[in-house]
C-alpha cells in the first residue's frame, strides 16, 4: 500500500499542532492588533507580552470549542480522501468474480465483511437493496475474516465460488441461511449454492486464495479498518452497520464529486 492509516494518524497529530499554531498566531495577532491598534501579529513580536496573548487565545478557544472539531473534521476528510486516492486501484479492483451490481458502474461500493459478523447480515440486505435500486453502482466484495477460524474457511470457500462463477449464489446463501458459521454450515451452503465440492475442497488449501485473503486484511489495516462491516464509497470510509440511507447518501456524494471533477476538467480543456 502506498499510504497507511498509521501515516494518516501521524499526520493527524501534526495537524492538531498546526491548528494550535495557526490559532495562536492568527487569533493572538488579531486580538493584539485590536487592543493596540498596531500591525498584525507576526510583524514584530519581540516586545509583545506572549503570555498575555496566549491567555487571550486560550480563553477564546475555550469560549469557541467548536473551532477545533470543525477544523479537524475538514482536515481529516481531506486526508482520508488522499489515503483512499493513493490506494484506489487496490481497493476498487475486485477479485475475479467477487463483484455484483453493474460491473461497469460509475460508483464502486467496496464492502469489507465477515460471514460470522451479525451486523454484516443486515449490511448485506442494505447493499442488495442499493444494487437493486441503483443500476449504476458496482459492488466489490472483500472477504475480511477477523472473527474466527470458521470465518477463514468461509472466506476461502467464497473465493472458490468466485472462481466457479457462483459467487453471488454462495454469498447470498451464507447470509440468508440461519445459524452460526461453522464448518458443517459452510459445506452445506457450498452444496446448496451449486459449487463443485471437490473443487472447493481443493481450493480451501490454495496458496493463491490465502494470499488474496491476506491482501484484503493488509488493505483493511492500511485503511484503519477495525471491524466489519466497513465500506469504501468514493472518498469516504463508513464503519459499522450504517444502514441503507447512509450508503445511498455516500453513493450520491461520490457521484456528485465525480461529476464536479469532470466539469472542471472540461472547463480546463476548453480554456
Write the pLDDT tens digit of every residue in 111-167. Answer: 999 999 999 999 999 999 999 999 999 999 999 999 999 999 999 999 999 999 999
* Mean pLDDT, residues 169-180 taken together: 96
CA separation for the pair 259, 261 (Å, rounded) = 5
Q: Is 99 left (phi over 0), alpha (psi -120 to 50) or beta?
A: beta
The pLDDT value recorded for residue 59 is 78
- Provide, rounded to the nearest whole percent, the portion of the chain with pLDDT above 90: 59
In terms of pLDDT, which residue wins out, 55 or 148?
A: 148
In terms of pLDDT, which residue wins out, 22 or 255?
A: 255
CA separation for the pair 248, 254 (Å, rounded) = 10
The pLDDT value recorded for residue 51 is 76
Question: Which of 34-43, 50-59, 74-83, 212-221 comes out lowest in average pLDDT?
Answer: 34-43
Q: How confident is the model at residue 18 (pLDDT cuts 50, 70, 90)?
A: low
The pLDDT value recorded for residue 87 is 78
The pLDDT value recorded for residue 117 is 96
Burial string for 153-166 (b: 16+ CB within 10 Å, else e) reads bbbbbbbbbbbbeb
- Provide, rounded to the nearest whole percent, the portion of the chain with pLDDT above 70: 71
The pLDDT value recorded for residue 45 is 47
Burial string for 83-105 (b: 16+ CB within 10 Å, else e) reads bbebbeeebeebbebbbbbbeeb
109 backbone dihedrals φ, ψ, rounded to 5°: -115, 110
Report whether pLDDT(6) > 70: no
Q: Is the overall model pTM greater than 0.75, yes or no?
A: no
Cα–Cα distance list, 69 to 24, 57, 74, 122, 260 (Å): 16, 17, 9, 31, 27
The pLDDT value recorded for residue 39 is 47
Amino acid at each position: 500500500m502506498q499510504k497507511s492509516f498509521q501515516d494518516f494518524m501521524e499526520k493527524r497529530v501534526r495537524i492538531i499542532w498546526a491548528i494550535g499554531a495557526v490559532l495562536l498566531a492568527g487569533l493572538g495577532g488579531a486580538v493584539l492588533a485590536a487592543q493596540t491598534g498596531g500591525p498584525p501579529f507576526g510583524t514584530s513580536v519581540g516586545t509583545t507580552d506572549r503570555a498575555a496573548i496566549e491567555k487571550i487565545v486560550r480563553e477564546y478557544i475555550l469560549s469557541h470549542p467548536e473551532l477545533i472539531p470543525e477544523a479537524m473534521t475538514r482536515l481529516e476528510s481531506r486526508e482520508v480522501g488522499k489515503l483512499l486516492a493513493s490506494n484506489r486501484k487496490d481497493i476498487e479492483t475486485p477479485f475475479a468474480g467477487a463483484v455484483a451490481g453493474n460491473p461497469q458502474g460509475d460508483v464502486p461500493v467496496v464492502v469489507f465483511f465477515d460471514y460470522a459478523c451479525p451486523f454484516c447480515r443486515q449490511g448485506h440486505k442494505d447493499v442488495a437493496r442499493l444494487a437493486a435500486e441503483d443500476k449504476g453502482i458496482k459492488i466489490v466484495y472483500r472477504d475480511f475474516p477477523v472473527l474466527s477460524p470458521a470465518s477463514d474457511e468461509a472466506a476461502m470457500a467464497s473465493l472458490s465460488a468466485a472462481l466457479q462463477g457462483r459467487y453471488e449464489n454462495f454469498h447470498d446463501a451464507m447470509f440468508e441461511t440461519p445459524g452460526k458459521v461453522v464448518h458443517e454450515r459452510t459445506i452445506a451452503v457450498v452444496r446448496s449454492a451449486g459449487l463443485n465440492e471437490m473443487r472447493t475442497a481443493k481450493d480451501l488449501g490454495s496458496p493463491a486464495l490465502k494470499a488474496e485473503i491476506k491482501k484484503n486484511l493488509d488493505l483493511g489495516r492500511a485503511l484503519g479498518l477495525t471491524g466489519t462491516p466497513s465500506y469504501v464509497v468514493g472518498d469516504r470510509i463508513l464503519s459499522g452497520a450504517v444502514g441503507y440511507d447512509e450508503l445511498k447518501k455516500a453513493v450520491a456524494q461520490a457521484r456528485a464529486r465525480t461529476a464536479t471533477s469532470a466539469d472542471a476538467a472540461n472547463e480546463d480543456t476548453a480554456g
